[in-house]
Every structure is written in C-alpha cells, then in structure tokens.
Amino acid sequence: MSRQAAENIIVIKNLNFYYGQFQALKNINLEIKARRITALIGPSGCGKSTFLRTLNRMNDLIEGARAEGEIWFDGKNIFSPETDLLELRRRVGMVFQRPNPFPLSIADNVTYGLRVHGHFDRLFLEERLYWSLKAVNLWDELKDRLNESALNLTGEQQQRLCIARLLAVQPEVVLMDEPCSALDPVATARIEDLMRELRENYTIIIVTHNMQQAARVSDYTGYFLLGELVEFGDTNQIFTSPRDKRTEDYITGRFG
C-alpha cells in the first residue's frame, strides 16, 4: 500500500457490554484506523453487531443494555455525559443488513438526515442530493426518477441509496452490518467496489459472514468469538498466518 500510515480514529479500551445479566462483549481493546476498511468476522452470535452498535451508541435504544469501558473518538470518550448523541450518530453512521429505504421518494430519502439536522435550503439540499447519489454511482441511473418512491428500486439500488442517505450527512465513520447479505453476487461485487472508492474519504467498519469478502475488501480484520476479540491485525496476516489457533480453525473452515 502506497498510502501513508493511518492514524487511529477510534480507540476502544476495556469495553465490556451486557444485555441484562448476559455479557455479550468481553474486554475488547482495539484501534480503528482512519480511512481504512476494518472487517469483523466470527460465528453467529459472537457479538459483532453488538460491537458495531456500541460505536454509535445505538445500543442505548435496547432496554437493559449496558456498556463499560471507554471508546475514544475525536479526543472524547463517547460514553461521557457531555457526548452529543445526535451529533455522534451523524458522524458515525450505519448501514443495515437489509436495504431499508423510507417509504418516501428517492430525493426525500437522501435528504432526510439533512432535514433532521436542520438544513432546509432548497439549493443546498439539491446539491447534496446530487453529490450523494454521485458518490454511490446512482446519479446517472436515477436522475430522472428522483421523485419516484424509493421502494420501487432493486435491492442493490436500495442499498446504494441507503449508503447515499448516510453519506449526505457527511459522516466520518461508516458502520456496515452485513450490508451485502441480501444481495446477489454481482450486486455484492459492485457494492464492494463502492466500498473501495469510499475508503478514500471514510473510515469503514464492516461486519461480514463472508470470509472472501473480508479478505477482498478489508485492510484490517478482527476475529470475534463468544464476545471476545480473539485476534486483530492486517487482513493479509490474519488470512495467511493467523497467530491464534482459533482464528486459523475459523478461516480454514475447520470451525465447528
């Protein structure tokens, strides 16, 4: 990689997470590099989604959920009481597993986040609409259909639109929870291309069950097992010479 060494954008220290009595994350320590793609892999139920949701505190919405530890983002601990939760979620955005556009027009979907954050200037909204759709390579396809319902789009277009909706509010970090699991292989490959483009300007953390996908797109990979971060490192290293036996078993498919 000819890019300069990346700085840390998020630093996670001694993170524990509980759903009531159940501990879903156990003492996670991790540094997320800016403008890189970090992939999180691991078997079902190991806490990947839970971990992702702690980063923008979406877990706050779950009754009985509780986090301990520190997550440093932009020089501040996001668990501190001074955190502006709405601003945190704008800066650390999320793409979900199933494409989930609002039952609104394509344009209104993209500008939703802007309007929520108090932008109503027509010109500004139109500019951002153009810019966001351009960024996810949807503009040319959809520029004549901006007022059509977003629900008429294909699955891939919908997922791109959801990414555009997120980019419109100019986040710094993009969390993706299995963003391709509802798409076919061709669409998946194109979304992966998009992720590589976005890496120029955004920090991406992606949860995936697809080991090839992690190997193809990510710079760093973390392997979760039963709420623990077993191993974290360069994607190349993880996939060619894992240090931990459990990681090796998992990536070679001997897990079970």
Partner 1 sequence: MLRINPRTEQKIISYLLYFLTSIAIIVLIFILTVILKNGLPQLSLEFLTKNPADMGREGGILSTILATVFLTFIALLVATPLGVGTAIYLTEYTLEGRVTKIIRFGAECLAGIPSIIFGLFGFILFVNKLNFGWSILSGGLTLAFMILPTIIRTSEEAIKSVPMAYRLVSFSLGSTRWQTVTKVVLPSAIPGIVTGVILSIGRSIGETAAVIFTAGSALRMPTSIFSSSRTMAVHFYILAKEGVSMPKAYGTAAVLVISILAINLLTYYMMGRYIKKKS
Ligand X SMILES: Nc1ncnc2c1ncn2[C@@H]1O[C@H](COP(=O)(O)OP(=O)(O)OP(=O)(O)O)[C@@H](O)[C@H]1O
Residues that bind ligand X (CB under 6 A): 19, 22, 24, 42, 44-50, 62
Decide: 199 and 36 in contact? Cβ < 8 Å. yes
* Helix, strand or coil, per DSSP, at residue 1: coil
Partner interacting with residue 46 (select from ligand X, partner 1, Mg ion, none; CB below 5-8 Å by kind): ligand X
Residue ranges in 78-137 that form contacts with partner 1 under rule CB under 8 A: 85-90, 93-94, 96, 98, 100, 102-104, 112-113, 115-117
Question: What is the CA angle 214-51-166, rounded to 5?
Answer: 75
> Closest distance between Mg ion and the C-beta of residue 123, in Å?
40
Q: Which residue number, 62 or 151, has a Cβ lying nearer to ligand X?
A: 62
> Closest distance between partner 1 and the C-beta of residue 97, in Å?
9
* Contact call for residue 151 and partner 1 (CB under 8 A): yes
* Contact call for residue 19 and partner 1 (CB under 8 A): no
Using the 8-state DSSP alphabet, how is residue 76 labeled? E
Give how many residues touch partner 1 by CB under 8 A: 30
Q: Which residue number, 71 or 251, has a Cβ lying nearer to partner 1?
A: 71
Alpha-carbon distance of 164 to 176, in angstroms, equals 13
Q: Between 186 and 225, how does the x/- string for binding to partner 1 read (CB under 8 A)?
A: ----------------------------------------
Residues paired with 37 in a beta bridge: 204
Partner interacting with residue 19 (select from partner 1, ligand X, Mg ion, none; CB below 5-8 Å by kind): ligand X
Alpha-carbon distance of 118 to 238, in angstroms, equals 44
Q: Which residue number, 19 or 79, has a Cβ lying nearer to ligand X?
A: 19
Q: Which residue number, 96 or 131, has a Cβ lying nearer to ligand X?
A: 96
Alpha-carbon distance of 49 to 13, in angstroms, equals 18
Decide: 66 and 41 in contact? Cβ < 8 Å. no
* Helix, strand or coil, per DSSP, at residue 144: coil
Q: Which residue number, 112 or 130, has a Cβ lying nearer to partner 1?
A: 112
Q: How many residues in total does the chain contain?
A: 256
- Which regions of the chain does DSSP assign to beta strands (E)? 8-19, 22-33, 37-41, 65-73, 76-77, 92-95, 173-177, 203-207, 220-225, 228-234
Question: For the chain, how many helices (H) and strands (E)?
Answer: 10, 10
**Residue ranges in contact with Mg ion by CB under 5 A:** 49
**Residue ranges in contact with partner 1 by CB under 8 A:** 56, 58, 61, 63, 85-90, 93-94, 96, 98, 100, 102-104, 112-113, 115-117, 149, 151-152, 162, 165-166, 169
